[in-house]
Structure formats: structure tokens, C-alpha cells
Chain A
Amino acid sequence: MKYGYYPGCSLEGISVEYDISIRNLFKLLGVAVTDLPDWICCGTLAAPSISRLLGVVTPLWNVARAEEEGFDQLVAPCSACVYHLKNAVRQVADNGPLRDDVEAVLGRALNDPPVVVHPLEILTNDGFESRIRQLVRRDLSELKVVNYYGCHISRPADVMQFDDPDNPQSMDTLLGWVGVQTLEWSGKVDCCGAHFSLIKPDVVVDLSARIFEAALRSGADAIVVACPMCHANLDTRQTRLTEKLGRSLEMPVLYFSQVLGYAMGLEPELLGLNKHIVDPLPLMLEKCRGRQVEISSSARTEEIAV
């Protein structure tokens, strides 16, 4: 399988720790990814709010570029990117006139574009269970987390074609493989307010307060996410939530890739665990039973190759 990698704008900026952890996790698991050359932003909700055609053609430019490169799948760690890329593919599939316009703008036909996937899809679908289980080096069985899927991991089902839109399980399954306790809770697929963090932060504070209330009720030590926007909203606004929740809040928000990588013995810096606003390391150290020597990912890759 030839995987192309579409980092998306957040992973080159505010969410650099997600990029670092995904790349090192992939390296450790032997998933070779090649960056999509000269990719452009997917346009998120901004491009389709200005023009219908622009909103479809912008993500598809990247998909067409990935087809040119001969990738079988295009992996995008940002669930909003995945949604916009997949949705554009679906829109032209159902709509001949739109497809003609898109191909006119692109200056080429879309023949057999690669499937766009979130890393969770690769890890849960492509037979990684035994490899992941074998690579566990730290015992995290004391760590209790809730998995927060937010909007676009599996919603809307027709577009995403992955996991259950109302009760997704992919992160619970993956973290279960490395022995982390994943709790049931009611906030799984609620919305954090996304980009309104920049526009109407009060709305995001209100919405994330409900998510934290549900997480606290469940008894979780941390929230695990798979989207840079969810992470930014939950990790950076906790001081503002103190008043709303009537208690001070310091709950680490981790990417699933950081938890997996940590369980597999990667050094914290190789997972960007030193870059959070709410420092997750004290919790990880406290909950880790039976610590093993940390190994750098290049050394580990050699170890696996043997």
C-alpha cells in the first residue's frame, strides 16, 4: 500500500505535536508515508462559504495531485481535512455538471483518485492489532481515559464511511490494544464549537464545559482526541472554564497517537508531549506501572526490522 500524507495547515503550526507523534508512531509501526508534494489547504468551511465551486475544487486539487503521485491512499490526520476531502469526492461523484466544472478548473479529469483516510482507519482496519500489542513497552493499565471523537471522525456516515456516527469505537479499540482503560461517557460525539474559538470564544467555552463535565463525571484522568481543532479547543481554554465549572480544571488532552506511542515506549519528545498547555507528563509518569527504558524511534525501527 502506497500512502500519501496530507498534514494540513494546523499540523504545520499550532498542532505540531500531533504531526510529530503521528509520524513517529507510523515509523515505529513500519507504515511508510510520503508527503503530498506542494499540497494546498483543504479550504475547510471558509472556501465553501465563499463559493460552491471553490469549496469543492480546492480539496479535489489535492486528491488529483495524490492520484498523479500514484498513491493508493491519502492519509490526513486532521479529521476536518478528511471530511472536506472525502465530501468533495462524494459531491462530484453524485453530480455530473459539478464534476464538469471541477475538471474544467483543475484542467484534468479525476479518474481513479486515491481513497482519503484518517490514521485511525489505517490502524484499525489494516491488520495492525498484533503488531501494536507486541510493541507495548509501558504498562498504562492504571490510566483511565475518555475518547472524544467530535464531529468528523464518522459523521456524516455517507461521506466518512468509517466507524459508528453515534457511538464510534475506533479509538476505544486501539487504546484497548495497548492496555489503557477507556471509559463509557456521554460526550463522545458532541461538538466543541470548532473554529468559533477564534470568532466567539464564549460559545466554545460553553460547549467545551459540557464536554469536561461529562468527562469528569465518568472519572477519567484525561481526554483523548483525534483532531487538531478539538485538541486546541479543549487544551487551551481550560483556565476560562474554571468559573463555569466552579472548580479549577487541569485535565490533560492527548492525541491517540501520543498515548499509543507512549505505551510503545517512545520518548516524550518524540511524541510532542512537552508542547501542551496542560502538561500531560506528570499524569503519564504517575499512571505508568512497570516502566521500560525509553528508546528513540530510529532504534526501535531497527529492532522491529530484525
Chain B
Amino acid sequence: MTFRQQIEGLSGQNTNLCYQCSKCSAGCPMAEWMDLKPAQLMHSIRLDLEDRVLNSTAIWLCVDCETCTSRCPQKVEPAAVMTAARVLATQKGVTPSVKEVSIYYRGFVDNMRLNGKIHDASVAGITQLLTGQLRDNLPLAWKLFIRGRVKPPPLPLGGGEFRRLYNSALAIEKDREERR
């Protein structure tokens, strides 16, 4: 399977429908920080430029705001393509070009595995600790705490259902991958 086909399989999108109007890039709130703008990323996928796409900052900087998807005149969903590229990069072990974002997603899902729900203050605290931002955020954390908006972490007693979903979903995908 070519790279383009892998992305299309995961995202359910036909990148050949894109006619490069760049409306997606124009409306993207994160475009100014991206190396490949959404329309360029779409085209790079069509050209099977796997390294360029999977190493781009774009796939990690996309916040899934859905502006691109909402405005695309060809009804292509660049946001879904971005997410698919992120999954592929992870599956293929490509070092994330924006490390902080992958730390956050990983930490978030790991937190879900403890309890099924996340404990928002621990996800925030751990992300900020690992990305060196904890000190800057302590005054705000204190303000939230005195307003009763920081809950104590729950005992890790729930989450059994989510762990089951997690193990089962990843096993199915791994099995598919191996058979290919």
C-alpha cells in the first residue's frame, strides 16, 4: 500500500478530490506556526511524500478546530487527514516533530487508563512538568485551587471498562497490521 492509500484508509478521505484552492490554509488558526500548510500537506500526501508529511509540524499543531473541513468546497476533510497522519506517525515510530503535543496525548490516554475519566489537574500538571512549564503555571493553579476548581485525584478504582476498550482496540489494529 502506498503512503497515500494508508492515509486515505485511515481517514476515509479521497485526497485526489482536493483542487488546491487553499481555503483550508487560509482559515487555519494554526497555519502560521505550521511548516506545511493544510493545502500543502494535502498535496504532499498525493505525491506520496511520506517523510515530509510524517515529519511535519503541521500534523501535531492541528487542533482539530474543523475550520478547514467545514469550508472545503470539495468536501474533503483535511482535519481527518491530519489526525490520520498523526496516528501513522505514531504507529511507524516517527519521532514527533512537536514533542510536547505527543507527550500531552500520551499522558491524557494513560490518565484515562487509570480511571476511565481523566483527572484534569493531574493531566495538566504532568504535561506542564514534562514540558518544563510547571513553574509558570503555579500561580494560576493556586487561583483555581482557592476557587474550588481543583479536585483531589480520585483513587484509581474505575477505568476497567476503558482499559478493556484500549487493549481490545489496539489488539485488533495490531492484528490487522501484522496480517498485511
Interface size grouping (class) on chain B: 35 or more
Question: Chain B residue with minimal CB distance to A11?
Answer: B120
Separation of A203 and B83 alpha carbons in the complex (Å): 20
Give complex CA distance A57, B128 in Å: 28
Chain B, range 139-180, C-beta contacts under 8 Å to A: 140, 143-144, 147-151, 158-159, 161-162, 165-166, 168-170, 172-173
Query: Chain B residue with minimal CB distance to A201?
Result: B133
Best-surrounded residue of A13, A14, A57, A155 (most CB of chain B within 10 A): A13
Contacts of B69 in A (CB 8 A): 155-156
Cβ-based interface call for B54 (8 A): no
B127→A199 contact, CB < 8 A: yes
Q: Which of A89-124 contact B (CB under 8 A)?
A: 91, 94-95, 101, 104-106
Selected interface stretch from A188-196, A251-259, A282-290, A297-305? A188-196
A277 contacts the other chain (CB 8 A) = yes
Contacts A16-B149, A40-B116 given; indicate if A51 touches B70 (C-beta within 8 A): no
Would you call B67 an interface residue if the criterion is a C-beta within 8 Å of the partner chain's C-beta atoms?
yes
Pairwise interchain contact A203-B149, C-beta atoms closer than 8 A: no
From B87, which residue of chain A is reached at the shortest CB distance?
Answer: A52
Question: How far, in whole Å, are A53 and B9 apart by their CA atoms in the complex?
Answer: 12
**A105–B117 touching, CB < 8 Å:** no
A191-B63, A200-B100 given as contacts; is B173 within 8 A of A53 (CB)?
yes
Q: A49-B83, A156-B66 are in contact. Are A199 and B100 (CB under 8 A)?
A: yes
Cβ B148 vs Cβ A193 within 8 A: no
- In the complex, are the beta carbons of B104 and A151 less than 8 A apart? no
Give the docked Cα–Cα distance between A151 and B102 (Å): 22
Is there a chain B Cβ closer than 8 Å to A38's Cβ?
yes
Chain B residues within an 8 Å CB radius of A15: 149
B90 interface hit (Cβ, 8 Å): yes
A202 to B163, CA, bound (A): 34
Complex CA distance for A50 and B86, rounded to whole angstroms: 8
Given A40-B161, A54-B170: A155 touches B112 (CB 8 Å cut-off): no
Name A12's contact: one of B70, B86, B151 (CB within 8 Å). Answer: B151
Q: Does A236 contact B (CB under 8 A)?
A: yes
Cβ–Cβ contact A51 & B116, under 8 A:
no
Are B173 and A52 in contact (CB-based, < 8 A)?
Answer: yes
| B39 at the binding interface (Cβ < 8 Å) | no
A49–B168 touching, CB < 8 Å: no
**Does A4 count as interface, using CB distance less than 8 angstroms?**
no
Q: What 0/1 pattern do residues 12 to 34 of B give for CB contact below 8 A with A?
A: 10000000000000000110010
Q: How far is the CB of A206 from chain B (nearest CB, A)?
A: 9
User: Is there contact, CB below 8 Å, between B117 and A157?
Assistant: no
Complex CA gap A12/B154 in Å reads 11
Q: A38-B158, A207-B29, A277-B143 are in contact. Are A50 and B90 (CB under 8 A)?
A: yes
Asked whether A194 lies within 8 Å of B117 as measured between CB atoms, the reply is no
Interface contact B109-A47, CB-CB below 8 Å: yes
- Complex: how many Å from CA A114 to CA B167? 26
Asked if A41 and B162 make an inter-chain contact with CB atoms under 8 angstroms apart, the answer reads yes
Contacts of A51 in B (CB 8 A): 87, 169-170, 173
Residues of A within 8 A of B112 (CB): 40-41, 43, 46-47, 58
Contact between chains at A54 and B67 (CB < 8 Å): no
Chain B 107-121 against A: per-residue CB contact (8 Å), 1 yes, 0 no? 011001000111111
Taking the nearest CB of chain B, how far is it from the CB of A228, in angstroms?
A: 9
B117 touches A41 (CB 8 A): yes
B51 close to chain A: CB less than 8 A: no
A104 to B166, CA, bound (A): 13
A38 with B161: CB separation less than 8 A: yes
Q: Among A9, A49, A101, A152, which residue has its beta carbon within 8 angstroms of that of B172?
A: A101
B144 — which chain A residues lie within 8 A by C-beta? 14, 236, 277
* A to B CB contacts below 8 Å, 16 in the list: A13-B119, A14-B120, A40-B112, A43-B112, A45-B64, A45-B83, A49-B90, A49-B105, A51-B87, A54-B169, A58-B162, A91-B12, A105-B172, A106-B165, A198-B124, A236-B140
